[in-house]
Structure 1
Amino acid sequence: MAAASTVTVNVMLAIHAKKTLSLDMHKPLRQYIVYHYSERDAQDMEDDLQTVQQMRNDIEKGADSSEARRDLLQRYYRALTVMESRFPISNEKEHVNLSFTWYDAFKQGRKASQQNIHFEKAAVAFNLGAVQSQLALSADRSTPTGLKQACNCFQASAGAFAFLRDNISMKASGSAASTVDITVECAGMLERLMLAQAQECFFEKVLADNKPAALCSKVAKQVGLYYEEAYAALVLPPLSQHFDRTWVAHVQLKAAQFQAEACYRIALELHEKETIDEEIARLKAASHMLAEAKKSGRGVVAPLLDAVTKLEGNVNRNLERANKENDRVYLMRVPPVETLPPLPTAVLVKSTPQADVLDASKEKMFAVLVPDSSAKALSKYTEMLDDIIRTQAEKLQQESEITRVKLKEMDLPDSLQALEGGAGLPEQLREDVEAVQIDGGPEGLESEMRQLRDLRRVNEELLVQTEELLEKEAREDAQIRTQFGTRWTRPQSSTLTKNLHDRANGFAANLKQASESDARIERAIRDNMPLMSILDARPIEAALPSLARPIMSLNGDEDSIVGALRIKLGELEALGQQRAGLEDMLKDMKRKDNILPKLMTTSGSYEDLFKKELAKFDPVCAEVAKNVETQEKLMQQIKAQNDIFAVTFNLEDYKVSREKAYKQIAAAVAKYREVRENINEGLKFYVTLQDAITNLKQQCSDYVMTRNIQCREMMEDLQRQIAGLSFSDSNSSARNYPAVGTAQRAQASPATNPPYPPPQQHQAPPSSALPQYYGTAPGPSPASQQQQPPNQYSGYQPPQQAAPGAAPYYSTPPPQQNPPAPPPYYSQTSAHQHNPSQHPPPQHNYSQPPYPGWQGPYYNAGQPTQQTPQTVSPPPYTYPPPAPGSYHGGPPPGVSWRH
């Protein structure tokens, strides 16, 4: 809208620099060095003396660019800081007699002269802020880069004036021979003015970026506040009669402009929200502010007056439109603007600190001029001052600690909070309860137990599946052994699988004991749930007792007792804040205390100077002593009031019930942790046991697969023997005479059932006569791969070596080229035959954990302990995870793993 045009021409102010008269600094400084040191030292310092003189001459001329003058002023200020500690400048005979003369920046006809280096430093700091403002004004604010440069320079200018106000003004403007422009009041006003113009740069940016009207209002509101603060300083002494009227009118009009701008911008947002009543009130306030400001805006530049006039036109047009809409549509009552909440602000600028750029700690000028006696005296004075500061600080800290302990003994202010239902837990107990609640609390234990039961069921199912593998293979082996009789020379399954059965029995015993442990944990949860349920209270303070008022009141003065105690505690808190302020005051006084120039210029005793300087700290030390004394008296009064309070509200009984509640909560936490730890150990046990059972199942699968391969090969060999064939002609006869199965042999001779049917009656055996491995078609053995016709079997191929972790009771020989004779198939003398006498089943010791090597608190979980509620009993169970395939323990006597 038209508001954008109000910032197209933005008038801002820059500060003129102070003028000075020429000054010869070289000669007086050199004479001082010669007199107090030596001619040789003067010659050594010649370069530094000429540098200082040249910088002073350049500042007097002031003909360079603004950037060069800014850098020159910063270097010269650091040089003055170095000189301050080495050259005493005054009108005394043995000091450096230098008279610095400077004109007032706002009253060019007024000047002042002082033999005071702080006067020179104040003028330099003022000019530094003035140059920064000129750099800001010269920037092209129509571009984003120029706008940013102007904003930064205005903030740097504000920082220079703030540095002048906080560090130099009091030392330079104390005498009558001074100028108004370097006073504290003027420096503060200029800082506000520069911040207002820096914030105004941000206002131009948010308008250019088409930011929301609410944000523009916040930025404009802060601009107006900065201008109002500057205007308030301009109308008060000593500035009220010092500045030209156009200055005051400019700042006043700017303040009104941006206060109205804030109202206008927020009114745009209110119009979109159809908050017509507040929109009208804001626009009326803006119109009134602009009209009043224009009355006193005589003498301001025309562009500023035009901008205000355009803004006023926009405000009035929107106000007229809003009134018409309200009269025709909304019919809302317009509230007085005084009843509306103040507009929010957004502070986007701050004074740029100048301490770093003006720090002279790294300057090397006149470095050798500090006398050794002065350095030693300064060190001694510093030690004396540190002792005073340390002593007073210890008094304050000790008193604070004594107060804290005494209040804790009287149970304050906790007892007063308990009266309002705000009693809390000790910090450590609170953290324990929060940890339990984050962990799920007692309500979450049931879900953990369900997971435990699910894991146990999975282990049991795996063990049943493992058993079924072995039983199926044993049934098939017994069936074939019955069929072939003594010709079936392969070892029996019961002989080879004894070790696997033993391991399975051991796992079954483990699961049985684990089930008992699970039951004990469930009982522990069920039995202790009434205790642990207190942990589900949210917040936990709801489970604590409250300090109640007496049922019967004798005189009804309970409120006055509580009120008096609260007043005393408030006074105690105020004393504590005062102690903190005194400690900060001591540190600040120490930081600002610099007696080096006085040490270098004194002609009397150092001790007298020390006594005089340290006397500055006597008032603060007296305040410390007074604070301590007052607090001691106050603590006695609080103790008396608390005794009355304790009797009236029966505080002792409350403390007993509260401690009982604390112990109950602590016991609940301990029991919860104990149960949770047992559950975690159970989960870890079942996961580890599942890996071990899975490994055993895999070994049983490998065993069954190998036995199937051996069965097929032995049947083929027997069939060849029955057919009267040899290994040499097996290749030619395999295609014409397939193997004969059991059923065919029985049909060939049903009466006599001869063991070997004639060759001409050979037929292929049925598929049911050959044992299968879980539906996998058996493949040819390695030893008979060359004798089998291609594609006769297309199933499992036997492994060349046993799988890792497999039991040592079977072995598959590698294939050979043209074997002279059929390989032996697990004869009774085979080296791989299992000998039960070599692997006797280990006896189970019930006093030890059933799973060797396990260490964990799972077994015997839930056993009752005789411990206090605050102590969690050490885990009574050990059960570490076994390495897969490494367990060879036997079953306990009388334990069967069958389910």
Structure 2
Amino acid sequence: MNTNLLFIPLKQSSVLDLGDELRQVITNNYFQPASSFNSDLIYITQLRNQVAQIKNVNDELGKTSQDDSILLEYLQVLNALQNKFSDDCVEFAWFDTLAYGPQGPYRYRSLKIEKLNVIYQIGTLYSQIAISESRHTDIGLKRACHYFQLSAGCFMFINNFLIETIKNKNDPLVLSIPLSMQSSTIQCLEYLMLAQAQETIWQKAINNNSMKDSVVARLSIQTSEYYSKALDFGNSSDLIKLEWINHMKVKKLHFLAAAHLRSSTIAADSFQYGEQVAHLRVASQAVDQALKSKKYVNSLVLEDLQGLADVIKVRLRTAEKDNDLVYLKIVPQEKELKTIIGVSMVKSIIPEAFEQKPESNTEIFKELLPYVIIHVAQAMRERQDEYVQTKFHTPISSLNNMLVKFLIDRDLPSSIDSIQQPENIPDSVIHHSQEILKTGGVDFIDKAFKELDKLKLECNHLLQECETRIDLDRSEDDMLRRKQGSTRWTRKSTDDAAQELIKKVDKMKQYLLQANNGDGFVLKKFYDIKPALDVYSSGYKALSQYIPNSQYIELPEQLSIVISDLRSCLARANTLESERKEFLQTLEIRSRDNSILPKLITEYNSNRSKYQTENGEFNFNAFESVYEKHMKLFDSDIKYIARTRDSQMTLEHEIDSINQKFVQEFKSLQNSSNEKRQQVLQYLETAYEKFLEIINNLTEGSKFYTDFIEKGSAVLQECEEYLYRRRVESRDLELAISNSFQQQQQVQEQNEQLSVPRNYSNDKLISPKTSKPGLWNPNSDIQFS
């Protein structure tokens, strides 16, 4: 396009079978057949591919409006998809085109990022439509101005969204923001569009011969200010190329010069000839600076600049000559001139379509279950699993451990095994050996400790990464604070800004220290019983050799009865454990088979207004009644826990009473061989109890470190987002300081360049006295010629 304005090139995107991607998502995650939505899936694939095939505007008529409608239609489709699918359901790929040639593809698994890219495309398209409008008619200028404002509104919408995203500390999207969506880049494009919109207003004004110079001057200076803002943001962007930087710099100075040129005319009309010269000098300096940045700038822009420069130079020479020879007015410095106050006739206009909700009769996937229902069902399923674990598995495991400890504290069953089976291996020991071998024995524990070490290493790495991010921000902040000075570097220090994060990281460190101490205690416990576990794992022959035989003792009838009663109680204890194991297995099957999702679907379909507002937002609390009703499934099981606890207490009381009788009866009959055998059997029983404790400890340790990794990863993400926000904040503050310094420097340079000779600027001017020839002055000496 042959124009003195800039248009933004469209991004490029790969062709994507979006319908097939969504088909797989529906098949895998929804309890609905994907075939029910074939027409929607075909439609969305075609629409997405049309979006990907849109090219930059050329001179063909009618092409732009069609592309505009395609993008807006796809935007509405994305709004509908966000209500039905999770944000990360599909991966999209885009090429950035702002810099030198396409860069990418950059891949994003986010509907939000896809939506921002589409809005970006709409903004670029509006800029191209504006460029294609005729600027030789008032109607063309009006339409161009409107489209430039719409384009600016698109980029303002993107920037506002990014600001809100960055503020939201828990939004993972912060780390997925594309390079082309960085705030400096987007704001550069927004102000560039506003500058060009203002320029069309200025052009319409100068086409009107009756327009006052004061109005044109104010329009010009405002145009210059918009280009100045665009230039500032462009300088801090990684994507704005040098051609655009120079273009904006030239435009900024061009309109600055134009504003002072008009102001010089106003000054001349008011007989303020000194001010006229001053304004022309500022204008001349501005065009001189602009010509220094003409490299890579469009020839039409340079022609306009050169034409303006020629006019200014001629008028400046004429004005200076007239003032020096005729008017003899003091030429003020630039800072003494009356400020030209800009007037903005444009603003960023966000297209109405961005805020509109899809119409119910055209909404795609209308009958598809919203993904939020799936999400709620998954969350409630996790709550259900936690409920089963807390209310059933944990209490039963505690009861079993209490029972084992109760028996071991009373030397049972080793005390009666050493009497009844003086040479054979007791059944309880054989059972323990089988259980240990089934678990994996020593090798299993060794592997579990190694896995725990890997998890611990990952946790420590997470902690180190969190500390590194905070330390990195601290070092960067300290460096910039020393560079800029504490007076200008006014933002919070790292210790203040990251106070909450530092607390979290310190707490993470404490948790890991406590866990490490606990791991050491469990490891020592393992080494203490490792010899016994080796015996258990070595088979029947090794157990026979390890357990000493004892002498046969003839038991009195009363003691035999007591031992028989004890053996009967121990059998009941084994039965109690078996019943509990079977109960938990049945409970797991019932919990797995009773999904809450069908109930949520039924409730949602029966009364959608109860669970979803008119704005499409879901009332999650309304689903709580469905969950409470669903969990009544386990009411009878809660009663079982109470019954089995009562049964164990009764059994323990009975065993304790009978065991006291046994101890009293057996004291007189016990011999050294029997006592030695009992001690070994008791050691094996204790080792088995410790083995169960270690298995439980390792399971808890693994769960702790896994949870730590999950929560620590969230903290690390917070640290990443914090560091990103601080760097953005740092860049903005540096830019503000740099701009302030440059403005001060420019004012100082301009003052130096615009200063006039001393006899004009500092000394009072004295008009020469007139005298008539031929008259004698009495104050003069007498002279003879």
Higher-RCO chain (CA-CA 8 Å, sequence separation at least 6): 2
* Both structures adopt the same fold (TM-score exceeding 0.5): no
TM tier, smaller: 0.3 to 0.5
Which entry has the higher C-alpha Rg, 1 or 2?
Answer: 1
| More helix per residue | 2
TM-score, normalised by the number of residues in structure 2: 0.45
